[in-house]
Amino acid sequence: MNNKLILTLDDAKMITAAAESEARRNDWPVVIAIVDDGAHLLHLLRLDNTQFGSIDVAIQKARAAIAFRRPTKVWEEHISDGRMRYLGLPGTLPIEGGLPITVNGQFIGAIGVSGVRSNEDAQIAQAGLLALLEAG
């Protein structure tokens, strides 16, 4: 029997709402993208006054996080450490702000945030993940 968990639209909306709350609390204009485990876009929110270039960046951060099952900060750190070969890895984005979404050890999707400093993007993304964990 397969007990695969899935990220529902309701889950994605809950994650987005918590992330949006963190962004608004700090007055940070961002785009929040949620993808499923196949990197397909489930939900996207662009706050007012957010540059449109952040739309694709947020989606790519989420896709990179689920494709490689790790935060995008990992590649940012590799590049900062001089390991430039990671720039050639297809589908990576070496900018913090993409986090995989896991439940009971299963990767079910990812969140990507773009619009402010990358560590602030990550703070917003983490707030979204925390809401899912607290919901249980």
List domains and CATH numbers for the chain. Answer: 9-135 (3.30.450.150)
- What are the residue ranges of helices labelled H in the chain? 9-25, 53-67, 73-80, 118-135
The two structure tokens encoding residue 27:
């007055």
**Could you report the per-residue pLDDT of 85-96, keeping only the tens digit for each?**
988 889 888 999
Helices (H) and strands (E) in the chain — how many of each? 4, 4
Handedness of CA 63, 64, 69, 73 (dihedral sign): negative
pLDDT band at 38 (very low <50, low <70, confident <90, very high): very high
The arithmetic mean of pLDDT across residues 105-114, rounded, is 97
pLDDT tops 70 at residue 1? no
State how far the alpha carbon of 109 is from the alpha carbons of 45, 75, 135, in Å.
16, 19, 16
